[in-house]
Amino acid sequence: MQLASRHSTVSPNIHNEPRAEALGVKGYQQGPLFPALLANQQVSTPGPAQQDDRIVHTVEEWLLDKYALTQSKCTETTYRDIVISLRTYLQERGLDLDSSANEIASNIQRWASLRASGSKRQGNVAPSTYNQRIAAISSFYRWVIEKGIYTDSNPTKQLARASVQKYAHARALNAQQVSVKLKSIDRSTPRALRDYTLLQVALNTGRSAQELASLTWRNVSIDGEIVTLTFERCKGGKTMYSSLDVQLSKALLTYLHTIYSEQLDILAASMPLWVSFSDRTYGQAIGSQTIADICESHLGISTVHTLRHTFAFTMDQLGAEASTIQERLGHESRATTNGYLDRLKKAHNPYASALARAFGVEEVRL
């Protein structure tokens, strides 16, 4: 059964708006909400708006049941965006999420390979992105089938997963180079001070873009000179705590005093740590895309996860035990952490400088 109306305002795009010393920190009811597809079930046909709402509500029920209470906020948000993106793609072709599996399977495969409109990159998406999209859609259909809401087969069962080399694109930045770039940020403006402090917090905690973006004043605890940040609903539904270095604690509080004046004691718990300075969203919380833009502007990288890689690699280079790095990253398995670090260290040759000296490499002047 297909919906009578295919209107949607949702864009098909699914991408929208170490130690402190090493990185150079300086002081400064559940119900059948999906349209009924049960065989021989007699139901009245609701209006287009009602049908549309039922699918939207079903998606939210699925997220609440499967992810909202047990997984990270990042997973919930990403999976919502993925399903909405697919739905918009299907609607543009006269289909919807409640269409037959045979009708939508090939469309799912084509959609999962597409880059977001306006992407700077060419060609199909990375295999890991393709697989993540298929996994999200498969999870949705497994759930609606289990609930008796959708009686056809899971359309993603027909689709092969892309071959992925684990952590193939993992990359860590050089801590000394990062330190130089951070020092070059002119912190005389609130925006630049925000950028500097945000990047330092990211590099010193190893948290993801979504986890950083979700920070509010209630996630800040101050004990003497030390600030502890609480990151709620991290990967696996965990709550992570990060106590900052004294200098970084001072830098964060300096930034917050600059943004919110001296009234931190009476600041509402819901106020965001990282605020927007754009005309359209001034004072509101920034999102993951803005954090990516900040990374690109100051560090020349477009992937925020590179900061997490840099955190892990720098911790390893500073002599941290693998168990400590595992704990800070929030990995369940030591094997995951070891695989992570092994990939990051593949290009690192600790004897590179000694080799250059041995072969008499000299500076070339133009």
Instruction: Answer whether residue 98 shows pLDDT above 90.
Output: yes
Residue 88 contacts residue 12 (beta carbons within 8 Å): yes
Residue 325 contacts residue 316 (beta carbons within 8 Å): yes
288-317 average pLDDT score: 92
Q: Partners of 222 in the beta sheet?
A: 227
328-349 average pLDDT score: 82
Strands (E), the chain: 220-223, 226-231, 240-243
pLDDT of residue 16: 39
Of 31-35, 41-45, 253-257, 333-337, the range with the lowest mean pLDDT is 31-35
Q: Record the pTM.
A: 0.62
Which carries the bigger pLDDT value, residue 317 or residue 350?
317
User: 19-61 pLDDT, tens per residue?
Assistant: 455 555 554 433 333 333 333 334 344 455 545 578 999 999 9
Closest CA to 34 of 53, 8, 12, 47: 53
CA dist 150 and 97 (Å) reads: 10
Domains and CATH numbers, the chain: 48-158 (1.10.150.130), 175-345 (1.10.443.10)
Of 235-249, 286-300, 307-321, 329-343, the range with the lowest mean pLDDT is 329-343
Instruction: Answer whether residue 18 shows pLDDT above 50.
Output: no
User: 196-212 pLDDT, tens per residue?
Assistant: 999 999 999 999 999 99
Q: Residue 153 corresponds to which tokens in the numbers above? A: 């087969």
Q: What is the mean pLDDT of the chain?
A: 82
Instruction: Answer whether residue 298 shows pLDDT above 60.
Output: yes
CA dist 158 and 140 (Å) reads: 15
pLDDT of residue 24: 54
Neighbours of 301 (CB within 10 A): 18
Sign of CA dihedral 181, 187, 188, 190: positive
Sign of CA dihedral 212, 214, 217, 220: negative
User: 122-144 pLDDT, tens per residue?
Assistant: 677 888 888 999 999 999 999 99
